Structure 1
């Protein structure tokens, strides 16, 4: 017999979490180590930064598991959206998830830069308290915004349509629901135009 395993991608639908650890020896001791933590599936998660010297983490990042749903758990916010995205993965990830993911991760990078600019005059304990507060506030904000996105997706893609409240998702403004359908380029490459348009009843 041959012993082995199938290759697998980093991001798979049953993924529980991902983390990226970085160490910069040139930085002051309290901010040398940084973890970017992504709950659930990495492709649809938001990587959230936490310094290794922090004295506590947000409560939502310390609780929860797949056996019982909890709106207090960061993991469930990301798992819910990843599961919901499978209604139409390409459409929802490209239109809704990836833009917000990019925005939140960019905000985190800006926050880290601001932290590093403002710690030079503080002692070690003050620095740890400072970065703990800002990283925790940032983590809580990300989870809160992800739950808001979850509620938006439930309404936007209800019943297999694209529902556009007040036209905010469309230009020009469209308030009536739209069908998802197929892209024109795909229909052009198939025999859709030559396909049956009526069916004889037997």
Structure 2
């Protein structure tokens, strides 16, 4: 499914020849990443912003964490789950929930992930313009309060939305099939209210050719009527 990732180890051997797994820019084992935005023409409370994301940089949502924040958003907080304790309120686990489903059927799922990911980041970018304009003239203490609350809201909100995305992916792509939709997020039902017949996504042509080359004779379909 055109997954761009390669699992470790980074090298492997075939007939005593060693090869390397090409590494993608974004990797599945990323804990967190950020882009630092530094400015000198704004109040102190917003001079520094960390656009912060957890897990895979390819599928995360980057949230603005202002340098003035007075609390860690609960979705990022120490003690809210760990590597051995799943928490549905933790951004790390929720983003892994989404990404790890996509690793198995990347080409099919990534458009749905991009739709939600881009929608959230576009909303955040628009909201940043509004809140920064609003707090620009407030007293310093109020600026810190407003921007801290802003970062807290978007961190936790994006985590909740990604949990919904993970649930949606599980329902839509369960058992190798693809549920039909009337619009994104609304699944098609029969007149009786049952699940409409799904699509069967199958595999890519490259994959089918590889299978045919490896085991073609065994898998050929026999046409009994034609005597073949």
Do they superpose with TM above 0.5? yes
Say whether residues 1:180 and 2:180 are aligned partners: no
Residue 98 of structure 2: which of 62, 72, 81 is its match? 81
Alignment partners' CA distance in 2, 1:153 and 1:86 = 12
Residue 139 of structure 1: which of 145, 155, 160 is its match? 155
CA shift at 1:169, angstroms? 4.5
SS at match of 1:100: helix
Over 6 Å off, 4+ runs: none
Q: Which residue pairs with 1:39 in the alignment?
A: 54
Which string of whole-angstrom CA distances, capped at 9 and with x for unpartnered residues, describes residues 14-55 of structure 1?
A: 111111111011111110100011110110111111101111
CA shift at 1:130, angstroms? 0.7
Q: Which residue pairs with 1:98 in the alignment?
A: 114
CA shift at 1:101, angstroms? 0.8
CA shift at 1:64, angstroms? 2.7
Q: Which residue pairs with 2:136 in the alignment?
A: 120
SS at match of 1:122: coil
Alignment partners' CA distance in 1, 2:199 and 2:145 = 49
CA shift at 1:182, angstroms? 3.6
Q: Which moved more, 1:29-38 or 1:59-68?
A: 59-68
Q: Which residue pairs with 2:65 in the alignment?
A: 50
User: Root-mean-square deviation (CA), in Å?
Assistant: 2.7
CA shift at 1:196, angstroms? 3.4
CA shift at 1:199, angstroms? 7.5
Say whether residues 1:64 and 2:64 are aligned partners: no
Q: Which moved more, 1:41-50 or 1:59-68?
A: 59-68
Say whether residues 1:155 and 2:176 are aligned partners: no
Structure with higher Rg: it is 2
Alignment partners' CA distance in 2, 1:160 and 1:169 = 19
SS at match of 2:33: strand
The alignment's TM-score, normalised by the length of structure 2, stands at 0.74
Alignment partners' CA distance in 1, 2:140 and 2:47 = 13
Unaligned runs of 5+ in 1: 1-5
Q: Which moved more, 1:114-123 or 1:29-38?
A: 114-123
